[in-house]
A and B are shown apart, each in its own frame.
Chain A
Amino acid sequence: MTPRQRREALEALLFLSPWILGFVLFTAGPIIASIVLSFFKWDVISPAKFVGLANYRYLFHDRILVKSLVNTIVYAAMYIPGAIVVSLAMAMLLNQQLRGMRLFRTIFYIPTLTQGVATFTLWSIVLEPEIGLLNRGLRVFTDHPPGWLTDPAWAKPALVIMALWSVGGMMLVFLAGLKNIPEQLYEAAEIDGAGRLARFRHVTVPMLSPTIFFNTIMATIGSFQVFAAAFILTGGGPSNATMFYVYYLFNRAFVYFNMGYASAMAWLLFAIVLALTVLQIRLGRKWVHYG
């Protein structure tokens, strides 16, 4: 290394130092601590006790954990396709060459920004069975609209509907993808006699497949993180119907202070999300076209 290169490397080290320190303190250190902790039984107050693999073994016998995992998978199975369809539909609407699209883009994006406790409380009133806006509307068609968050069968769909309200991030990614599809492809397809639906199936979907793939992976990771909405709106109920995995992990760690068990739960979550991502990458080779 010449003195000049060494000098540049040292300067780089200086600029990187916040991240390096943060990585050691808040990522690498905690990762190691979390692995170690997952072999212990510890409630923060009394001394930690080594239990070997007992925490991991118990994971599969813990009935609430299994229920929370099933709940999360059911939620993900509704949310992921729903989010892809809704955000793609909104992006295609915004991709029309009409005036005022910037304004609609802004309006469509607002729910994404405001998602959080305030929006959840607003939704708690929209979904309220008696006076809620949704059921006031539904009563036009039926005398017995669903109880939404108070009904174990409807609580998860209600949370999915709420989450589909704020897919603005995915919508913008789709919009960018749509703008990258060359106009000639549509013209060529039209000359070949392709109708609207055929153009969507044979031009839009294949050309957009890398974007669909990216959004699917992001939606998968996101759906396994579902927590705050259930915490605020349902408290995990009714009868644990919205007790999601991360919610149960939170309870184990910060309500019951089972720090070792909760750490083992975190690693199981990591393994599941990693496995799903790898699986999607494998499957992606079959249907994703890179132009």
Chain B
Amino acid sequence: MVGTSLTPADEVLNRNRPLFPRDPAWSNYREALTVLPFHLFLKNTLLVALLCTIGQTLSAACVAFAFARLRFPGRDALFLIVLSTMMLPPQVTMIPTFIMFTIPGWIDSLKPLIVPSFFGGGAFFIFLLRQFFLTIPIELEEAARLDGCSTFGVFRHVILPNSKPALTTVALFAFIGHWNDFLGPLIYTQSMGNKTLAVGLSAFKSLHGNDYHLLMAASVAVLVPILVIFFFSQRYFVEGIVTTGVKG
């Protein structure tokens, strides 16, 4: 892949060319990333992925806290409803949600991609965090309450600080999920200036699909940030999946 991305244009279609070019054409990267406004795609993707990560992690933590640590009537039934939303194909809600976002005129903006993240964070993350919150010793909470901590205080000063690994897992999954998300930006963004990297790269492929060296350069540029993040945080991914897998 990297080899193709560095192969000069006139050599790409040669069947017998070496996998890695002898004379790397670094200019392919500059060319690929300036044909379309990749700096705008990057800015949009970062904006969406960062805000969604904050929204999903925070709101899923609030909801998971209520399910794990507070007593209220109908808790188990409600939790079952949360889980059952995972079964529903996203296509069922996608169309009415799209029509709903036409009302405030949010189509061709990033708002429909960001705003829903602040409302609960999704059943999977709620489930994952609830499982983790259940493992935090109740004595810590009781001690905090004796010291006069309110419920919010328990959440803020006992639960959150003791859940950093789980919160990191959720944040990383959320970030990667939104970085790779394709269908959402495909539906909601139209003009070039509003596209994210995923749909921008897809547009690039349909415009320059046969310029393999440029296509590879653009793809590699989109992949590298994810690989860097993964490299520094890989244990959170693996442990996060294992926790949900065993209990799910």
Q: Which residues of chain A have a CB within 8 Å of any CB of chain B?
A: 5, 8-9, 11-13, 15-16, 18-19, 21-23, 25-27, 29-31, 33-34, 37, 44, 105-106, 109-110, 113-119, 121-122, 124-125, 128, 130-131, 133, 136, 169, 172-173, 175-177, 180, 211, 214, 221, 224-225, 227-228, 231-232, 246, 249-250, 253-254, 259, 262-263, 265-267, 269-270, 273-274, 277
Q: Flag B48-70 by CB within 8 Å of A: 1 or 0 each.
A: 00000000000100110110001
A266 & B89 in contact (Cβ 8 Å cutoff): yes
B202 & A106 in contact (Cβ 8 Å cutoff): no
A259 & B95 in contact (Cβ 8 Å cutoff): yes
B201 & A110 in contact (Cβ 8 Å cutoff): no
Q: What's the nearest-Cβ distance from chain B to residue A43, in Å?
A: 12
Picked from A31, A121, A267, the residue with its CB within 8 Å of the CB of B215 is: A121
B89 & A273 in contact (Cβ 8 Å cutoff): yes
Q: How far is the CA of A250 from the CA of B184 in the complex (A)?
A: 12
Given A121-B205, A266-B89, CB of A16 within 8 Å of CB of B63: yes
CB-CB < 8 A to B89: which residues of A? 224-225, 266, 269-270, 273
Interface assignment of B35: CB less than 8 Å from any CB of chain A:
no
Q: Name the CB-closest residue of A to B119.
A: A22
CB-CB < 8 A to A172: which residues of B? 238, 241-242, 245
Q: Which 7 A-B pairs have the closest CB atoms?
A: A22-B119, A19-B120, A116-B180, A173-B245, A33-B96, A30-B96, A30-B93
CB-CB < 8 A to B126: which residues of A? 19
Interface assignment of B83: CB less than 8 Å from any CB of chain A:
no
The interface on chain B, measured as residues whose beta carbon lies within 8 A of the other chain's beta carbons, has a size of: 80
Interface assignment of B198: CB less than 8 Å from any CB of chain A:
yes
Interface assignment of B77: CB less than 8 Å from any CB of chain A:
no
Q: Which residues of chain B have a CB within 8 Å of any CB of chain A?
A: 1, 4, 12-15, 17, 19, 59, 62-63, 65-66, 70-73, 75, 78, 81-82, 85, 87-100, 102, 116, 118-121, 126, 151-152, 155, 176, 179-183, 186-187, 197-199, 201-202, 205, 209, 212, 215-216, 218-220, 222-223, 226-227, 230, 234, 237-238, 241-242, 245-246, 248
Given A19-B63, A23-B120, A34-B95, CB of A117 within 8 Å of CB of B242: no
CB-CB < 8 A to A44: which residues of B? 99, 102
Picked from B95, B116, B230, the residue with its CB within 8 Å of the CB of A22 is: B116
Q: Name the CB-closest residue of B to A106.
A: B234
* A-B pairs with beta carbons under 8 Å apart, 6 shown: A110-B227, A116-B182, A131-B12, A173-B246, A253-B94, A273-B89
